[in-house]
Amino acid sequence: MPRVAKGYIEQLPSGSFRVSVYVGTDPITRRQIRLKATAKTEQQARIELGRLLKEASEGRTPESDATVAKLLDEYAAIAEWDVSTRQTNEGFIRRTIKPALGHLEVRKVRGPILDQLYARLKRCGDLSCTGRPFTEHRNVPALVVNPRDRRPAWRQVTEMLTEAIQSGSLAPGDELLSITELSALQGIGTGVIRHALDALAADGLILFRRGQTAIVAGTPAGMISGVRKRPGPGHDCRRAGCKPHVCRPMKASTIRGIHSILSGAFAAAQRWEWTERNPTRSAKPPTPTRRPIPATSPDDVAKVITEARSRGAALGLYLWLVVVTGVRRGELCGLQICDVDLDRGLVHVAFNYVVRGGQRIRKDTKTHQDRWLAIDPDTCALIATYLDEIRAELAVVGVELRDDAYLFSNDPAHSRPWNPDWATHKVAEAAAAAEVKLDIKGGRHYTASQLLAGGFDLRNTAARLGHSGGGATTLRHYADPVPEVDRGAAAYLAKLTARSATQTG
């Protein structure tokens, strides 16, 4: 049935005119769907009315001029992403896709626009970069410690940075640089800076990206591509560590990630009849070049574990468990006392602890990758000693370690788990001190490659790392919920890593 569009013009109290054309009724809300426009004069209003009536007869609906930003909002709300994928994808949407494409109409996006974006990102991931030189300003205030102030230096630094964050001069996502860089630029000892940053991190005001660079926590406000932040008055480029911009090409795999978000979003737009074509079909993201990353050697891993142990029993045990269990960093942070069965030599990985935009999420892996892992007698002994020490400390103040307490925690009763970013940061510090290139992901990589090199089959290795829901989980109903081969894997990894670690540790 052909649609008959009805329209009218009405004058607003301000004197201008509103033009409205009815195009249908929303089947769910029963609300009228209208195309709208405003005009200054009655004559312009008549022209607008004619235009809208013509568009209505051609089947235009209000949604059809929705922007890419609106599409992404609606798509992200319904996309079936797990917690960590959602975190990554929403970051791409906020930092890259919306600033670059958010203002465009969905209908008007074509393949070449996407290809241009991909080419630009391949040259430099900074959307405000035009290829011409510019200075990257950082809004870190001058940190001047007053020796006559009775408060300790770290407290003064903490307060200066807190003030800058709360006043908004340091915005969410702003970089504070690493402890050593900040210390050198501001002429303040690393110990003071470390203490101050740890206090800010504990308050949730900052977090450590890749375990090194401190950045202001929170969701950065969406910016429009090409807009660069200007430094405030009294800004000192030298002390703040402002640097000339150096182009950082975005990795091909990252650009592919952005492409796949766009593919999903435009496929949804097509299903919703917002647009007739999917521009991602004709766009081509760059092909990633895969370079195999060599796994860290047992000796090097042992060096980092020894260093971690010297920094604290908890950190030492955490890293040890990373390599002998191959468990993800958040899964290890989510481990509770009741998940560890020292009598049977088992660890139950039930949760992935994720901190997303300052919010703590205990993601239930039960439906996903809930699994049991074997731990060898040596590891059991390490955990037992560790727990005994915590229990002894708590006994002094008459507190018992609860069953739902977390294995790794910075609070006395172990009621709040470590923030995974914090764990990454601490492991990075230990690795840097041991002069070994290793992070938590590298630890898992070590687990996998050493097991495979040791003759363990892929299926069991994958199960241990939580890559498959098959084998390992079905066995949990038996007396020993882990297969014999996983017992072997646990013992093998412990022996291999311990050979060097126990010599010094």
Question: Interface with Zn ion includes 124 (CB under 5 A)?
Answer: yes
Question: Interface with Zn ion includes 458 (CB under 5 A)?
Answer: no
Least Å distance between CB 325 and Zn ion? 41
Least Å distance between CB 144 and Zn ion? 17
Question: Interface with Zn ion includes 247 (CB under 5 A)?
Answer: yes
- Among positions 340-399, residues that touch Zn ion (CB under 5 A) are none
Residue closer to Zn ion, measured from CB, 126 or 439: 126
Residue closer to Zn ion, measured from CB, 238 or 291: 238
Least Å distance between CB 240 and Zn ion? 5
What Å distances lie between residue 48 and 9, 21, 51, 52, CA to CA? 9, 10, 5, 6
Dump the DSSP string for 50-78.
HHHHHHHHTT--GGGG-BHHHHHHHHHHH
The Cα 159–Cα 415 span in angstroms is 27
Residue closer to Zn ion, measured from CB, 135 or 180: 135
Least Å distance between CB 124 and Zn ion? 3
Residue closer to Zn ion, measured from CB, 245 or 459: 245
Question: In the stretch 34-73, what mask flags binding to Zn ion with x, by CB under 5 A?
Answer: ----------------------------------------
Euclidean distance between the first and the last CA atom of the chain, given in angstroms as a whole number: 81
| DSSP category for residue 97 | I
The stretch among 85-93, 236-244, 295-303, 427-435 that binds Zn ion (CB under 5 A) is: 236-244
The Cα 373–Cα 493 span in angstroms is 13
Least Å distance between CB 220 and Zn ion? 19
Least Å distance between CB 225 and Zn ion? 13
Q: How many CB atoms lie within 10 A of CB 233?
A: 4
Question: Interface with Zn ion includes 97 (CB under 5 A)?
Answer: no
The stretch among 101-109, 220-228, 245-253, 478-486 that binds Zn ion (CB under 5 A) is: 245-253
Least Å distance between CB 139 and Zn ion? 8
The Cα 223–Cα 286 span in angstroms is 25
Least Å distance between CB 128 and Zn ion? 8
Question: Interface with Zn ion includes 242 (CB under 5 A)?
Answer: yes
Residues 104 and 113: beta-carbon distance below 8 Å: yes
Question: Interface with Zn ion includes 237 (CB under 5 A)?
Answer: yes
The stretch among 49-57, 129-137, 302-310, 360-368 that binds Zn ion (CB under 5 A) is: 129-137
Question: Interface with Zn ion includes 137 (CB under 5 A)?
Answer: yes
Least Å distance between CB 185 and Zn ion? 12
Question: Interface with Zn ion includes 140 (CB under 5 A)?
Answer: no
Q: Which of 56, 100, 129, 317 binds Zn ion (CB under 5 A)?
A: 129
Least Å distance between CB 141 and Zn ion? 12
- Residue whose C-alpha is closest to residue 409's, from 487, 452, 353: 353
Question: Interface with Zn ion includes 114 (CB under 5 A)?
Answer: no
Residue closer to Zn ion, measured from CB, 255 or 301: 255
**CB burial readout 296-307, b (16+ within 10 A) else e:** bebebbbbbbbb
Q: How many CB atoms lie within 10 A of CB 14?
A: 9
Least Å distance between CB 241 and Zn ion? 8
The stretch among 121-129, 144-152, 170-178, 184-192 that binds Zn ion (CB under 5 A) is: 121-129
- Residue whose C-alpha is closest to residue 436's, from 293, 296, 319, 306: 296
Number of residues that bind Zn ion (CB under 5 A): 8
Question: Interface with Zn ion includes 185 (CB under 5 A)?
Answer: no
Quick one: tokens of 63?
Answer: 């949604």
- Residue whose C-alpha is closest to residue 350's, from 361, 363, 337: 363
Residue closer to Zn ion, measured from CB, 141 or 334: 141
- Residue whose C-alpha is closest to residue 98's, from 258, 284, 274: 258
Quick one: tokens of 368?
Answer: 């996903």
Beta-carbon contacts of 312 under 8 Å, excluding residues fewer than 6 positions away, are: none
Question: Interface with Zn ion includes 177 (CB under 5 A)?
Answer: no
Residue closer to Zn ion, measured from CB, 137 or 464: 137
The stretch among 122-130, 319-327, 404-412, 487-495 that binds Zn ion (CB under 5 A) is: 122-130
Helix (H, G, I), strand (E, B) or coil at 352: strand
Helix (H, G, I), strand (E, B) or coil at 269: helix
Residue closer to Zn ion, measured from CB, 129 or 347: 129
- Residue whose C-alpha is closest to residue 347's, from 213, 462, 222, 472: 472
Residues 354 and 419: beta-carbon distance below 8 Å: no
Residues 206 and 217: beta-carbon distance below 8 Å: yes
What residues line the site for Zn ion (CB under 5 A)?
124, 126, 129, 137, 231, 237, 242, 247
